[in-house]
Structure 1
Amino acid sequence: MLIHPWDAPGDDTWQRWLTTHDFGQLAVNGPPGEPPFVQPLHFAYDAGRREAVTHLARPNPLWPAVEANPQVLLSVVDDYAYVPGPWQAEPGTPPEHGVPTSLYAAVQLRCRAHVVDDPSEKAALLNRQTGHFQPEGGSAPAAAGEAPYGRLLSGIRGLRLEVTDVRAKFKYAGKRSSAVRDRIATGLADRNGARDPQARAHVLGREPA
């Protein structure tokens, strides 16, 4: 992923973003001659521990690949929007000469995967995930050998993803003039597509809602 200086966010930006953008794709090297395995999944990122935790069903074909090579990549992309060419034309330039582009936020976490099979450790991992996604509670905690989830633990394996490197890119017209950025923000507000409000907030330099 190419990251220009004007698209590089600070650590606090991408870490805050990951607290609410917690669905991504886990890429694992495939066997020789085969493409990578790519698994969509929810995860919970812990900035303090510098790790993400998740779990998958035991029959998932990803496991042999993880065990053969625990170097994996967790990729998250969101808040994306298409920008028509006329929106990007600089003042004094014909609108039809503007160059269309994509706006997006992307974080790639290079990780060392640690497989979790111990029932008590799996229960603790699941409780961390549930605490992230359901801070209001409402579900019984998982505990090895105890109802209601204890007997289900054997059907999953946990993953602790120890983050070893981060590449983050927030591509939101950072090199464009204020006039162009204002035009893009206005265009996004008028169009009001599925992710346009979030992209507009980034363009304006605000934390997206």
Structure 2
Amino acid sequence: MLIHPWDAARDDDEWRTWLATRDFGQIAANGPDGGPPVVVPTHFLYDGAAEVLLHLARPNPLWTAIEADPVVLLTVHDDYAYIPGGWRTGSPETGVPTSYYASVQLTCRAEIVDDAEGKAEILRRQLAHFQPDGAHGVVAAGEGPYHRQLPGLRGLRLAVTEVRAKFKYDGRRTVEDLERIAGMLAERGRPGDAGAREQQLRRMAGK
């Protein structure tokens, strides 16, 4: 991912705050035997510091890729919008279009979890996050509604080794340009426009 200085996260707090409200992304692993990368969309649980937890079905092709090479990339993107060239210049006949988006990529070393209690612990923590009302019953290796399903899945612990974050919202343009684009995003109102506008205005304000 190319990150120009004006698109880089200002500090760790910026990308951590953004990522804290997101829990769905894609894991990419090197393809075994020189094959193409294996990419899996999935929910995940990030502790905000050094570890990501998740589980996948046992037949998932990601396992073979991880067993061959445990280095994986978890990527999350959101708040994206297409920006017509004319929005950036104020003239419909001029300007180069661009994409606005935020993206955080976590390089990780994967550890496969196959023991029943380890998988139950991952599932407990994920359910506590995704179903905080507690309406999921007992999660344990030897009892409750899930223990018979544990053999059909494998757990993953991802140790984060590097973070790359990008907030691409025309950081080099003038305040006048950015205010015009923000207004156009509000007027157009497509899916993603509100989130992109929010991020653009936040960056303009230096937050």
Q: TM-score range by the shorter chain?
A: over 0.9
Which residue is 1:8 aligned to? 8
Contact 1:19 1:44 survives alignment (8 Å) = no
Report the 3-state secondary structure (helix = DSSP H, G, I; strand = E; otherwise coil) of the residue aligned with 2:20. helix
RMSD: 1.5
Q: What's the offset of the Cα at 1:32? A: 2.5
Which digits, 9 at most, give the CA deviation of each residue in 1:160-186, with x for residues without a partner?
Answer: 111000111010111110001001100
* TM-score scaled by length of structure 1: 0.93
Alignment of 1:64 with 2:64, yes or no, is yes
Q: Counterpart amino acid of 2:84?
A: P
Contact 2:110 2:157 survives alignment (8 Å) = yes
Alignment of 1:96 with 2:93, yes or no, is yes
Which digits, 9 at most, give the CA deviation of each residue in 1:85-143, with x for residues without a partner?
Answer: 111016xxx44212110000111100000101111111111111112212232111310
Which digits, 9 at most, give the CA deviation of each residue in 1:20-52, with x for residues without a partner?
Answer: 22111110111223101111100011114x111
Aligned positions of 1:11-50 closer than 5 A: 11-48=12-49, 50=50
Which residue is 1:138 aligned to? 135
Which residue is 1:173 aligned to? 170
Cα distance in 2 for residues equivalent to 1:111 and 1:161: 5
Cα distance in 2 for residues equivalent to 1:133 and 1:175: 38
Which residue is 1:203 aligned to? 200
Q: Counterpart amino acid of 1:161?
A: L
Which residue is 2:119 aligned to? 122
* TM-score scaled by length of structure 2: 0.94
Gaps of 5+ in 1: none
Question: How many residues were matched structurally?
Answer: 203
Report the 3-state secondary structure (helix = DSSP H, G, I; strand = E; otherwise coil) of the residue aligned with 1:130. helix
Report the 3-state secondary structure (helix = DSSP H, G, I; strand = E; otherwise coil) of the residue aligned with 2:118. helix
Cα distance in 2 for residues equivalent to 1:73 and 1:147: 33
Report the 3-state secondary structure (helix = DSSP H, G, I; strand = E; otherwise coil) of the residue aligned with 2:145. coil
Contact 1:89 1:98 survives alignment (8 Å) = yes
Q: Percent same amino acid among aligned pairs?
A: 60
